[in-house]
Chain A
Amino acid sequence: QSALTQPASVSGSPGQSITISCTGTSSDVGGYNYVSWYQQHPGKAPKLMIYDVSNRPSGVSNRFSGSKSGNTASLTISGLQAEDEADYYCSSYTSSVVFGGGTKLTVL
């Protein structure tokens, strides 16, 4: 159950788009279309933003989108806003659940 690999940090200016990658193996990200993304603001519980690679739960802005190619999944946030500044975690099914190490998004 090794953690998925995410960049430690990414940054962007308001209005720009950023992409966070999440690299796993054929046993997790590459083997199933069960990738999800969570947003966590400091001191708060995580929030589900994307499930099944690219689906958004009700109420999540369409500025958030997900995709996958091989063993790497990606989260793209378009039209960056100050409130998007948070930690983002990817997750994959792998007969259990494995999270990525997390990426801190800074909105400049």
Chain B
Amino acid sequence: QVQLVESGGGVVQPGGSLRLSCAASGFTFSSYGMHWVRQAPGKGLEWVAFIRYDGSNKYYADSVKGRFTISRDNSKNTLYLQMNSLRAEDTAVYYCAKDFLEWLLYPRYMDVWGKGTTVTVSS
């Protein structure tokens, strides 16, 4: 079945770095754009980043632009999120999600979500 499994979360000090991974299975990973979405404790959803199916273009929320980098390895069916210069406000559950339609050039909808990985930024 279609599945996304995130990993790499943990506790990190302010200013530190972390790399999240998302292993995809059950669908043709290289045909779909992918998203990262986060949810701070007790808060709503916040879209973080999107990468096109072929990795040719990337889109970021203003809150993470210049600090986070989304990437993918289609040969490994894996999505990544490199997070640098982490701040307390980056503390959240981070979900990876598959876009709904194949071959989209721009971010649209998320129809398959992982269970999330928790990132805590604290000294």
Q: Say yes or no: B111 contacts A97, CB within 8 Å.
A: no
Interface residues of A (CB under 8 A from B): 1, 3, 34, 36, 38, 40, 45-48, 51, 57, 87, 89, 91, 93, 95-102
Which residues of chain A have C-beta atoms less than 8 A from B106's C-beta?
A: 93, 95
A49 to chain B, nearest CB (A): 10
Given the known A-B contacts A48-B100, A57-B100, are A100 and B107 also in contact in the complex, defined by CB atoms under 8 Å?
no
| Majority DSSP secondary structure for residues of A touching B | strand
Q: Say yes or no: B47 contacts A48, CB within 8 Å.
A: no
Give the A-B pair count, Cβ closer than 8 A. Answer: 63
Which residues of chain B have C-beta atoms less than 8 A from A1's C-beta?
A: 61-63
Q: Say yes or no: B107 contacts A97, CB within 8 Å.
A: yes
Interface residues of B (CB under 8 A from A): 35, 37, 44-47, 50, 59-63, 95, 100, 106-111, 113-116
Q: Say yes or no: A89 contacts B108, CB within 8 Å.
A: no
* Chain A: CB-nearest residue to B62: A1
Q: Say yes or no: B110 contacts A100, CB within 8 Å.
A: no
Q: Say yes or no: A36 contacts B109, CB within 8 Å.
A: yes
Q: Say yes or no: B50 contacts A97, CB within 8 Å.
A: yes
Which residues of chain A have C-beta atoms less than 8 A from B45's C-beta?
A: 38, 40, 46, 89, 91, 99, 102
Q: Say yes or no: A46 contacts B61, CB within 8 Å.
A: no
Q: Say yes or no: B111 contacts A57, CB within 8 Å.
A: yes
Q: Say yes or no: A101 contacts B116, CB within 8 Å.
A: no
